[in-house]
Amino acid sequence: MKPVSIHDFLWDSSQFSAKAICVVYGNDSFLKFHAVRILRSQVLSDEDAEFSLTRFEGDSIKFIDVLKEVNTLAMFGGDRRLVIIEDADSFVTKYRAELEEYAEKPSEQAVLLLLLQSFPSNTRLFTRVIEKGLVIEAASLPEKEIPKWIVRWSKHHHKTSCDPNAAEMIFQRIGAEHGLIDQELAKLALMVAPKEKITTTLVEKAVGSWRSQSIFVMLDLALTGQTAAAIQQLDQLLLAGQNAIGILAQIASRLREFAAATQLILDAEKHGKKISTAAALEQAGIKRYFIDKGAEKQLRMLGRHRGAKLLNWLLQADLDLKGASRNDPRIILETLIIHIADPRFRTP
């Protein structure tokens, strides 16, 4: 048997029911997220979902604790429990023998779901899981297939038709990131009248051009400490006619979320508690897809001390751009980038 393609699973999940042990693996966080969403709906009813779902981090959980959860009866109703091990690659490496044994005779009252980056087919565990359970490969499509996927995903998930030429334009402007494409389709679907379709005219007006994409590339470079590259990106934007206040407005939203996540971490520590970076980002409003795609790593690199200063830096930049400073707008934005990116500000 072969793994189920995530795309076959998403288009018609009724053909693939959740088994006692499931694996979703691959390099696309957005597709994995939707696989988990569907599997959760198959296993749990709305009424008992909160009580019958357990999530563990793969690098910190022990197998005995997982075993305890899968052998615990669901609190309400007849539904099974769902136990999810996120980032489970290290967990599988550490407890491979125990998982092989468990896969032979898994608990009938729970679904164990492992989320992995890779799941080699030449292992005994792969053979046992694919025989007894459900294995879904969440791999990104080749770029040449993305426009067709856009058309289908728009109709299937957003209930809106998309012209093939419009799909091609979305791909050219956004790239091959399924999650970013989905966000644009969600926005476009709200703008389309009932029974109408997404057209190239609408895409041309509403979907971010290379300028808006470049602004977030600049922010990503800054958050990963690539000061010179981020400033070079800033210069290209300004030379192309991008307004400095507009640039600040677009990056401020993400930086405020990072500031909020930092405050959640600091508040938890003040009360003798701990909250993971990923959980703090999620509570701050960042979607899991973007956390998995690098936001967690970026906040870790930023550090708590600089993260706590973000709101002040943003306020100062905003005031300076609106007349509080005589400095050139480029200097004001460059100063903000340096604060975010320069390793000298990366205190522990």
- CATH class given for the domain over 4-137: alpha beta
pLDDT in tens, 290-301: 788 788 999 999
Token digits for 108?
Answer: 């009938």
Averaged pLDDT score across all residues of the chain: 88
**Res 251 pLDDT > 90:** no
pLDDT of 347: 39
pLDDT per position as a tens digit, 179-223 = 888 988 988 998 988 889 999 999 888 776 556 667 778 998 999
Calpha distance 230→180 (Å, rounded)? 21
Domain boundaries, the chain: 4-137, 143-208, 211-345
pLDDT confidence of residue 115:
96
pLDDT-derived band at 11 (thresholds 50, 70, 90) equals very high
Higher pLDDT, 35 or 177: 35
Interatomic CA distance for residues 79 and 45, integer angstroms = 7
CA angle 25, 29, 30 (to 5 degrees): 120
User: Is the fold of 4-137 the same as that of 143-208?
Assistant: no
Convert the pLDDT of each residue in 144-167 to its tens digit: 899 999 999 999 999 999 999 999
* pLDDT confidence of residue 104: 92
**Residue in this structure with the two tokens 């300004």, named with its chain if needed:** 238
Residue 274 confidence class, pLDDT cut points 50, 70, 90: confident
Please check the confidence at residue 40 and state whether its pLDDT lies above 80: yes
pLDDT of residue 210: 57
Read off the pLDDT of each residue in 312-319 and give the average, rounded to a whole number.
94
Reduced DSSP (H G I as helix, E B as strand, rest coil) percent helix, strand, coil of the chain, to 5: 60, 10, 30
What is the third-level CATH fold of 211-345? Zinc Finger, Delta Prime; domain 3 (1.20.272)
Task: Report the CATH number of the 143-208 domain.
Answer: 1.10.8.60
pLDDT at 287 over 80: no
- How many angstroms separate the CA atoms of 65 and 25, rounded? 22
- Is pLDDT at 77 greater than 70 in this prediction? no
